[in-house]
Amino acid sequence: GAGVSQSPSNKVTEKGKDVELRCDPISGHTALYWYRQSLGQGLEFLIYFQGNSAPDKSGLPSDRFSAERTGGSVSTLTIQRTQQEDSAVYLCASSPRFPDRGHGYTFGSGTRLTVV
């Protein structure tokens, strides 16, 4: 596609429920990143994927968070048993090559998650 597409754009869920957030990167981009944007907390790295290599999961805040990338393209971030502190905007970015060092990051518009 023309840009990084994320869905849904907004998600309201009840505490304790599971949610899935989707990211469709730019076609041909080999690297995909997930960040979390919280009010006053800036951008927090969660996970990144490079092609078919094992992902760097070092930023995931707890084992309730997981992500996968199927076929080197679409990625799904799953949050199990959501908590109110999970409320944030979840941003996905992709880049055309790895290592990219930030030169070609293209961000999606994000998914605003609200846990009530």
Partner 1 sequence: AQRVTQPEKLLSVFKGAPVELKCNYSYSGSPELFWYVQYSRQRLQLLLRHISRESIKGFTADLNKGETSFHLKKPFAQEEDSAMYYCALSSRGSTLGRLYFGRGTQLTVWP
What is the SS3 assignment for the chain?
CCCCEEECCEEEECCCCCEEEEEECCCCCCEEEEEEEECCCEEEEEEEEECCCCCECCCCCCCCEEEEEHHHCCEEEEECCCCHHHCEEEEEEEECCCCCCCCCCEECCCEEEEEC
Q: Residues in contact with partner 1, total (CB under 8 A)?
A: 27
- 27 lies in the site for partner 1, by CB under 8 A: no
| Region binding partner 1 by CB under 8 A among candidate stretches 10-18, 21-29, 71-79, 88-96 | 88-96
| Region binding partner 1 by CB under 8 A among candidate stretches 10-18, 20-28, 33-41, 80-88 | 33-41
| Region binding partner 1 by CB under 8 A among candidate stretches 10-18, 39-47, 71-79, 80-88 | 39-47
- 41 lies in the site for partner 1, by CB under 8 A: yes
